[in-house]
Amino acid sequence: MAVTTGTTLDARTLRADFPIFEQLIHDKPLAYLDSANSSQKPRQVIDAMSEFYETSYANVHRAVHVLGERATAGLEGAREKVRALLNAPDVREIVFVRNATEALNLVAYSWGGNNLGPGDAVVVTELEHHSNFVPWQYIAKRQGADFVMVPLDENNELDLSGLDQIARDFNVKVVATNLVSNALGTIHDLGPLTRWAHEQGAIFVCDAAQAAPHMRVDVQALDCDFLAISGHKMCGPSGIGALWGRASLLQAMEPFLLGGHMINSVRYEKTTWGELPHKFEAGTSPIVEAYGLGCAVDYIEAAGLDAIEAHEHELVAYALGRLSEIPGITLYGPPADRRAGVVSFNLADIHPHDVAQILDRQGVAIRAGHHCCQPLMHKLGVAATNRASFYLYTLPEEIDQLADGLYTVRKVFA
Amino acid sequence: MNEFEQMYREVILDHYKNPRGHGVLEGADAEAEGQNPLCGDEVSIYVAFADDGETIEEVKFFGRGCAISQAATSMLTEMVQGRTATEVASLDKDELLDEIGIPLTPVRLKCAMLGLTTLKVALHKAKGTPLPRGLAGFDELELT
Ligand SMILES: Cc1ncc(COP(=O)(O)O)c(C=O)c1O
């Protein structure tokens, strides 16, 4: 595998692992600056998944034959890799789901559905992705609980000054927040919020969808109770993600989806649930996707998560420098050393859709829209922003291509 | 710049920068609000009918969004003036697309159709004309 180890990363070499870059887009080299939306996939993952289909595929856990055994080993091996990635104490605490959204829904329904009631509150932040906002808003309302927001200050940082008041007004049961913001790239220091949550006797739910691809995420160091990730953002396939939860909490919870595989015994009068993690994995799993996620974990571990994080800080610093030269630009978010590879901006009053379309013509792929963060957009007073985002294969030339493209956008809309 | 002219014809940029029929119509006979949840584009459309209660005398719109959504709505206000509610309710989207005259990707098609869809909803609410079933962007419109 063409990867480096240690704290530096050779993005140019890594990039050669990604077949998507072997094509031209509108006759231009591809500047893929939309990795926070979904990352591209290295050949190592693509090939491993094909080979798995060709040599080892069968359903898991119930077949006695050799292919069933191989497939089960592939799936369970991936579970162990995800456990190690997150430094989870026990592999049974890793539940495979479709994506971070499903992981968060699982916690909201299964934990929230049994533990929330009138007088209780769920606390989220104004900077949440809709995936960590809407399920909580919905379940709180359904259970008659309150839904409370930690606001952002004028620098769009979490404003924790109101926590005491929240503690006086509500019986806080859940605190849910992201570790890295997909809209601004902010890497939060969650320590104070986690400690506060636990002082209230609340569970702390961490949305690490945007953190796990870009930095080391350690569930024990974070001291969270649940944590959600998505495979497709970290070099893995779509259709697979993981929930980590404390075994004691998972054990006490009701299942989320019901059906095959998640049972212990089924009788006319009564069904009993299977052991962890199977209790939460009803139906046939995304077997090959899970295997692919395991391969992706191998890939990013070999590149080095510290090296990936350092690489992205460098790219963000470079991008902030290049973009700030462009007349009419507004940049959002914290300084480079406190953000993952995300740069959100607006160009004069040109709508992000128009910006993104003209950039696309120049081979530059960015995201334009509200980034599933409408509460934040509301706060910023804009309908949408442009977002360029980076990953381990991103090169400074791509940022140059973006900057050049933005000058062209200005000309078209002059 | 040729390839960009193809994407943003001069006439589109002109409608975007100097939108026709821009504003609010107080006491409108028909109105509706539409949103494109994908990009947060919004338009509100206001219609005044002539004395026959059928012919569209004036259309105004107000909104914020990308050049395509706003220019298309501006073009639409000129296009439907003097037509009846029934005619507009069955106005083929290709008529508007021809007027726009640039190739649109599926995502941008939603932007382009926002004004027309919203107008048809306004007419539906006021006159009971058929809804623009299946039109892009429609499913997210609130029919209140
Ligand atoms: C911070 C954050 N949370 C949650 C999600 C949802 O991820 P998925 O769509 O894979 O469920 C995303 C994806 O954009 C994200 O960036």
| pLDDT tens digits along A320-359 | 999 999 999 999 999 999 999 999 999 999 999 999 999 9
Ligand 1 midpoint to CA B59 (Å):
41
Q: Domain coordinates of chain B in residue numbers? A: 2-127
Indicate the fold that domain B2-127 takes in CATH: Sufe protein. Chain: A (3.90.1010)
Both A233 and A377 in one domain: the answer is no
The answer to whether the beta carbons of residues A412 and A358 sit under 8 Å apart is yes
Where does the pLDDT of residue B6 fall: very low under 50, low under 70, confident under 90, or very high at 90 and above?
Answer: confident
The answer to whether the beta carbons of residues A178 and A202 sit under 8 Å apart is no
State the total domains in chain A: 2
**Chain center to CA of A309:** 15
CATH of the domain at A270: 3.40.640.10
- Mean pLDDT (whole number) for B101-116: 89
Both A225 and A170 in one domain: the answer is yes
Q: Specify the pLDDT at position A127.
A: 95
- Mean pLDDT (whole number) for A103-120: 97
| Per-residue model confidence as pLDDT tens digits over A210-266 | 999 999 999 999 999 999 999 999 999 999 999 999 999 999 999 999 998 888 888
- Does the complex come out with an ipTM higher than 0.85? no
Restricting to B residues 102-121, those with a Cβ less than 8 Å away from any Cβ of A are 105, 108, 111
Both A349 and A233 in one domain: the answer is no
CB-based contacts of A251, cutoff 8 Å, min separation 6: A276
| Per-residue model confidence as pLDDT tens digits over A372-392 | 888 898 888 888 899 999 999
Both A178 and A316 in one domain: the answer is no
- Range of lowest pLDDT (A62-71, A318-327, B4-13, B86-95): B4-13
Taking the model in full, what pTM does it have?
0.91
User: Which has the closest alpha carbon to A402: A369, A355, A351?
Assistant: A355
Which of A301, A331, A364 terminates a domain? The answer is A301
Both A313 and A166 in one domain: the answer is no
Both A173 and A100 in one domain: the answer is yes
| A120 part of a folded domain | yes
Of residues A206, A235, A295, A372, which has the active-site annotation?
A: A372
Q: Specify the pLDDT at position B2.
A: 67
Domain span at A345: 11-32+304-412
Which of A259, A286, A301 terminates a domain? The answer is A301
| Per-residue model confidence as pLDDT tens digits over B44-55 | 999 999 999 999
Both A83 and A121 in one domain: the answer is yes
Tell me, what DSSP letter sits at residue A235?
A: T
Both A310 and A194 in one domain: the answer is no
User: Which has the closest alpha carbon to A175: A100, A122, A108?
Assistant: A122
Distances (CA, A) of A169 to A41, A149, A150, A299, B82: 47, 13, 14, 47, 59
Q: In angstroms, what separates the C-alpha of B103 from chain A's closest C-alpha?
A: 12
Which of A283, A301, A319 terminates a domain? The answer is A301
How far is Cα A137 from Cα A121, in angstroms, rounded to an integer?
10
Both A215 and A359 in one domain: the answer is no
Both A70 and A182 in one domain: the answer is yes
| A40 part of a folded domain | no
| A43 part of a folded domain | no
Q: Specify the pLDDT at position A3.
A: 43
Both A144 and A262 in one domain: the answer is yes
Both A294 and A315 in one domain: the answer is no
Of A351, A361, A413, nearest to B65 by CB-CB distance is: A351
